[in-house]
Amino acid sequence: MGTTLFNREIAIDLGTANTLVYIKGKGIVLNEPTVVARQMPSNEIIAVGNEAKSMIGRSPRDIEIIRPLKEGVIADFEITAQMIQSFIGRVYNMETIWSRKPYIIICVPSGATKVEKRAVLDAAKQAGAKEVYIISEPFAAAIGAGLPVWEPTGNMIVDIGGGTTEVAIISLGGIVSSQSIRVAGDYLNEEIQGYIRLTYSLAIGNSTAEKLKIDLASAKMDDNRGKMVVKGRDLITGLPETVTVTRGEIMSVIEKTAQQIVSTVIDTLATAPPEISNDIMSRGIILTGGGALLDGLANMIKKEVDLPVFITEDPMTSVVKGTGEAIKHIDYIRSTTNIAAENT
Ligand SMILES: Nc1ncnc2c1ncn2[C@@H]1O[C@H](COP(=O)(O)OP(=O)(O)OP(=O)(O)O)[C@@H](O)[C@H]1O
């Protein structure tokens, strides 16, 4: 088959935090949280994406809020398949889906096992795909960041997502070496929750921790004067309580995460052939993914890694754009991922 698939190609960035869908010729048509709400005990799905996320922390006991991906991989297969189906239903003409089944290209973390890839593939198939192709997330991110991935030049991409940070070196259309760590945005939220619990005996929710992270470690806060008042539950009295948290406190939590990312960058560089390391020394590294928006983190990485560090133009969409762009090379993707055989 040639490279034209009759404009039925859909690219999906199935992320731990957010799912994005791109349709050739239309661009990004959907960008919503990877969250599903289910009515119990019937198990009926009642909301997906933004609507489900808005219910977090506010739902009655008989509504269960589920994040079907954990640390970059599918934790709940059935729910993921139904979520993909619901998203495709919103962006693809469902009246014609059975006669014009879409070709879906979907990205997975570079460290995904065969079983995990199979789960993604089956979920997309169950959602109505004619064929499904899989591309590795850092490769898609590198294409989306406009790096010359097909040339004989070493490029390093660091994709800090919700569940995983992927560090990969790419040259000549392939991954030369890569590492994936389960230290990224969600981990930072947990670390912040842990810090507040230990320091103030206060329990705060995930969205409060995320707000602390985003507001206090952003570019607007360029010194340690930034602070934020947060509400939580006092662990001793059990009553609602407020505390004031400073940027300095949040930055000290972020520092440990930055160091883990920097160690992974250094380890990955150490495994590359000398020519490729030289390319990266002069070209620098590219940061992408939602975590790249955290200036506090990006600046710490810049300081520690001693290489030029650049941030992509729109870090939250570079993976899906790259996945969409990869559609042009579908024959190549098909051959490199061996997925055609798995589509039978
Ligand atoms: N403005 C921002 N500043 C800092 N962090 C942000 C910002 N916006 C989003 N994030 C963080 O980015 C993370 C999500 O990034 P992204 O959408 O790239 O991940 P994902 O693709 O869903 O996850 P993964 O690649 O691990 O599967 C979340 O942890 C979120 O808190």
Q: Using a 6 Å cutoff on CB, does residue 161 contact ligand 1? A: yes
The pLDDT of 269-286, averaged and rounded, is: 93
Cβ of 210 closer than 6 Å to ligand 1, yes or no, is: yes
Kind plus residue range of the DSSP H or E element containing 310: strand 309-311
289 lines ligand 1 (CB under 6 A): yes
pLDDT of 327-337, one tens digit each?
888 888 877 65
Cα(18) to ligand 1 centroid in Å equals: 7
Distance in Å, CA 5 to ligand 1 centroid: 31
Instruction: Quick: pLDDT tens for 293-305.
Output: 988 788 888 888 8
Q: What is the rounded average pLDDT of the residues 283-293?
A: 94
Report the separation in Å between the CA atom of 183 and the middle of ligand 1, taken as the mean of its atom positions. 12
- Assign residue 72 a region: left if phi > 0, alpha if psi is -120 to 50, beta otherwise? left
Note the pLDDT of residue 2.
Answer: 41
213 is known to lie in a ligand binding site:
yes
Q: Which residue from 302, 292, 303, 295 is spatially nearest to 218, judged by alpha carbons?
A: 295
Q: Tell me how far the alpha carbon of residue 99 lies from the centroid of ligand 1, in angstroms.
A: 36
Task: List all residues 6 or more positions away from 292 whose beta carbon is below 8 Å from its beta carbon.
Answer: 158, 160, 298, 311, 312, 315
CA–CA separation, 253 and 15 (whole Å): 24
The full set of domains in the chain, from first to last, is: 9-140+318-342 (3.30.420.40), 147-183+257-311 (3.30.420.40), 185-252 (3.90.640.10)
pLDDT 10s digits, 30-49: 999 999 999 999 999 999 99
Whether the pTM exceeds 0.90: the reply is no
290 CA distance to ligand 1 centroid (A)? 3
Mean pLDDT of the chain: 88
Of 59-73, 97-111, 248-262, 313-327, give the lowest mean pLDDT range: 97-111
pLDDT band for position 4 (cuts 50, 70, 90): very low
Mean pLDDT score, 181-199? 96
- Across 236-249, average pLDDT: 95
**Which ligand 1 atom is the nearest neighbour of the CA of 165?**
26
**Using CA positions, which residue lies closest to atom 12 of ligand 1?**
290
- Point out the ligand 1 atom lying closest to the alpha carbon of residue 18: 22
